[in-house]
Amino acid sequence: MSFTLAIVGRPNVGKSTLFNRLVGKRLALVDDQPGVTRDLREGAARLGQLRFTVIDTAGLEEATDESLQGRMRALTERAVDMADLCLFMVDARTGLTRQDLVFADILRKRADGRVIVATNKAEGQAGEAGFYEAYNLGLGEPVAISAEHGEGMDELRIALTPWAEQFEAQTAEVELDLEAGDEASGRPMQIAVVGRPNAGKSTLINKIIGEDRLLTGPEAGITRDSISVPFTWGDTKMKIFDTAGMRRKAKVQEKLEKLSVSDGLRAVKFAEVVVVVLDTSIPFESQDLRIADLAEREGRAVVFAANKWDAEENRAEKLAMMKEQLGRLLPQLSGAPLITVSALTGRGLERLREAILKQHEVWNKRVSTAVLNRWLNDQLEAHPPPAPGGRRIKLRYMTQVKSRPPTFAVFCSIPDALPESYKRFLINGLRRDLDMPGTPIRLELRKRD
């Protein structure tokens, strides 16, 4: 999902018609439960090569009385806040109405220029006057479309493209393609195996790949610094970033330590899932902690592999100790799977594979806005945010703005005043209640009166 587009405008201009055309059958969860967002529909849209999330605000009938006006305004404002970009739709046949101007005003105040104007119902000649009139809104050059007849869709795509590129540039990561839907696209899952020297990384990778592929070493011509090895594990296509191949070149211990840190760094940036290999006899050494923390900060999914389990004698005791250490030393990854394995014998590798798949899934997770806001309301009721210096902080609503890793925006009356501890409380709650254990979760606070 590269960006979110909100379709806004007064009733009857054709918002739903366009929404349905963009989404086709790919409608995301429509939630009719009462709640903050019952009037917003969300779907996965496709327009040519562009893929994005679209929000439809067409939940309301023609607004006649005051209360409806107010609700419509609130709904539109919410959609504008949630979206990266707004498509402001007017009716080319009727021309601009007083209500259109009210919407234009909301957008001017709230959308920071992130607006494209579309004049709909522009099939035939009847929409021409309305199209030129729309320039008067002062919101940029309008795009003439017919949502019903599918006209102007290419122009719309062209108008969206620079925005799409901008949002993609903002979220793009090194060597990492952030398009969702790996299975569908057949793109391999990118794995990094990191850890301190001698933890057993090469042994593990060799065992997983099932041949002495790494030992034969990279052939000439493969980039020396980034050697990624494609393979299939179970049914899953994966690519492992081989840092061991580089490490073998280093002879001196000191040099080796240094190399493994910068290797690890590169590997983490490349990966979707980072497997931190621990040596069970000396788990959670400072280097292990550093690299796991780095993976979390880079927003990767993390799995711990406690290796050399075959050599461990007091297993129950050791496992309890490692779990305790994980919770205490890396609270930011609390709940991340810790899988005991033996790279030497191959024991535990199937469980490791399952954990990798599960964490990858969690990392890709999308939670519907309705579910999130019901959850938020429960939290606010049970534990309202503190009132520092008597100032009440209001949390209005929240939405997931991105996955990989799951990233949420909470709209808040005084973002700066919300204590870190409350933010952590929300993050931990999201992890626990929405089944996202051990995954980096990002929470952004955005200003909303």
By CB under 6 A, name the binding residues for ligand GDP: 11-17, 58, 120-121, 123, 146-149, 195, 197-203, 244, 307-308, 310-311, 342-344
The nearest distance, CB 244 to ligand GDP, in angstroms, is 5
C-alpha distances (whole Å) from 86 to each of 64, 97, 106, 117, 228 are 24, 19, 11, 8, 40
117/168 Cα distance (integer angstroms): 22
Q: Is 283 annotated as a binding residue?
A: no
Q: Is 120 annotated as a binding residue?
A: yes
Place of tokens 């790996």: 182
The nearest distance, CB 373 to ligand GDP, in angstroms, is 22
Q: Is 305 annotated as a binding residue?
A: no
Phi, psi of 226 (to 5 degrees): -140, 95
The nearest distance, CB 375 to ligand GDP, in angstroms, is 28
Q: Is 369 annotated as a binding residue?
A: no
Place of tokens 């060597």: 175
Q: Is 223 annotated as a binding residue?
A: no
User: 123 or 272: whose CB is closer to ligand GDP?
Assistant: 123
The nearest distance, CB 305 to ligand GDP, in angstroms, is 10
User: 60 or 329: whose CB is closer to ligand GDP?
Assistant: 60
- In 9-163 the beta strands, taken as DSSP E runs, fall at 41-47, 50-56, 85-91, 115-120, 143-144
User: 292 or 426: whose CB is closer to ligand GDP?
Assistant: 292
Neighbouring CB atoms inside 10 A of 124's CB total: 12
User: 171 or 198: whose CB is closer to ligand GDP?
Assistant: 198
User: 62 or 168: whose CB is closer to ligand GDP?
Assistant: 62
User: 76 or 203: whose CB is closer to ligand GDP?
Assistant: 203
User: Tokens at residue 329, please?
Assistant: 């030393």
Q: Which residues contact 49 (CB under 8 A, 6 or more apart)?
A: 157
Chain centre to alpha carbon of residue 149: 33
The nearest distance, CB 416 to ligand GDP, in angstroms, is 37
Q: Is 233 annotated as a binding residue?
A: no
User: 239 or 308: whose CB is closer to ligand GDP?
Assistant: 308
C-alpha distances (whole Å) from 215 to each of 240, 255, 444 are 14, 20, 45
Q: Is 310 annotated as a binding residue?
A: yes
Q: Is 129 annotated as a binding residue?
A: no
User: 148 or 293: whose CB is closer to ligand GDP?
Assistant: 148
The nearest distance, CB 337 to ligand GDP, in angstroms, is 18
C-alpha distances (whole Å) from 417 to each of 145, 358, 380, 388, 420 are 44, 36, 16, 7, 9
Q: Is 289 annotated as a binding residue?
A: no
254/259 Cα distance (integer angstroms): 9
The nearest distance, CB 147 to ligand GDP, in angstroms, is 4
| Strand duo 85-91 + 4-8: pairing | parallel
* DSSP, res 97: -
439/158 Cα distance (integer angstroms): 36
Q: Is 423 annotated as a binding residue?
A: no
The nearest distance, CB 16 to ligand GDP, in angstroms, is 3
Report the binding-site residues for GTP. 9-16, 56-60, 120-123, 195-202, 242-246, 307-310
